[in-house]
Structure 1
């Protein structure tokens, strides 16, 4: 009888270790998920009406499904083509904001596909995978995707494109992103790289 009890204790202990280990593999628990997903963690909790456990289960599943995704490299020619296209779309925004946002949304979807993320026709899967690898930039893409389909105001569309540019720069860059490190480069770059969608460049405004 004593031997049976010892065996039962060992089995339960091993099961607990496997369970905890699985939780770590899927994102490192609550603290690891917060660090990895940043603002997307809070969004997930809000989407689950404050249910932290449910949100962490969803985020852990995203890591399990998409965490091993290896981003593909872009050739210099393809990278330059995307940069040129994005610059052209930015210039078009002043005259046709809605058209520019729609084209920018489609461009980002194609770029993500070329980097190895799920196909652009599967937006939910694509955004989930991007949130695992580019968590601090994905909200701009989500906002621009919504603006491309809704009758948003010009200012809302401008802000969406400015925010989405962070993801564009992350995807078109040389090195894959580190999903565990907050990348503040998009906000810094907005003050340095040319961007024609500021208010002083708006149609009909003074320069």
Structure 2
């Protein structure tokens, strides 16, 4: 075998190894993002038609932009007001579902801004920042926001409100997001979720 052929083979092997290394690195990075973002990773993947590289780039950019964001604590007075407002909104859902989700959407936007996230006037930006710190809870906020602007049925709005309660609880806790949240009881309307029939489910009842 000539020296030229040996050199060509060596170059091909090096290139193939580099491509394999980069591919494994990307897959490894995406696995890390999937662990971090959970269902939000699947949402980003769906938004990019299953393109894992594009989804990974989007979520990585979110981490780069908002990963260092520090949440501001709420004063006890502000927290109490937010809890009371949320309870009132849940009660209101029985008679006025669309009005309730509209007010819930606005309340979450204000609460997130008070905690140090971008203004709710830029919903996509605020949601992106929230997803970095509260990835497991942002789906409900997206749901109530969509319900306000769409033609959702009462049951869809109810489900969005139930899911949005998780983000409200996370943001209204007295401790920042990176603290042990399990030491704080998540504030809600005594564990109740709105229903379309004037009833309330208790925690653990399969809302």
TM-score (norm 1): 0.76
> What stretches of structure 1 of length at least 5 have no aligned partner?
1-15, 203-207
Shift of 1:176: 2.3
SS at match of 2:149: coil
CA RMSD of aligned residues (A): 3.1
Query: How many residues are treated as equivalent by the alignment?
Result: 176
Q: Is the counterpart of residue 51 in structure 1 residue 51 in structure 2?
A: yes
Aligned to 1:79: 79
Contact 2:133 2:177 in 1 (8 A): yes
* Offset, 1:200: 6.1
1:35 has 2:26 as partner: no
CA distance in 1 between counterparts of 2:198 and 2:106 reads 27
Partner residue in 1 for 2:193? 195
User: What TM-score comes out, normalization by structure 2 length?
Assistant: 0.76
| Structure possessing the higher radius of gyration over alpha carbons | 2
Q: Please tell me whether the aligned partners of residues 93 and 196 of structure 2 are also in contact (alpha carbons under 8 angstroms).
A: no
Q: Give the SS at the match of 1:79.
A: helix
Task: Determine the C-alpha separation between the residues in 1 that align with 2:89 and 2:187.
Answer: 18
Q: What is the distance in 1 between the residues matched to 2:196 and 2:136?
A: 22
2:66 aligns with: 66
1:13 alignment partner in structure 2: none
Q: How far apart in 1 are the matches of 2:197 and 2:163? A: 15
- Give the gaps of 5 or more residues in structure 2: 1-17, 201-207
Q: Distance in 2 between matches of 1:151 and 1:131?
A: 25
**Do the aligned residues in 1 keep the contact of 2:154 with 2:196 (CA within 8 Å)?**
no
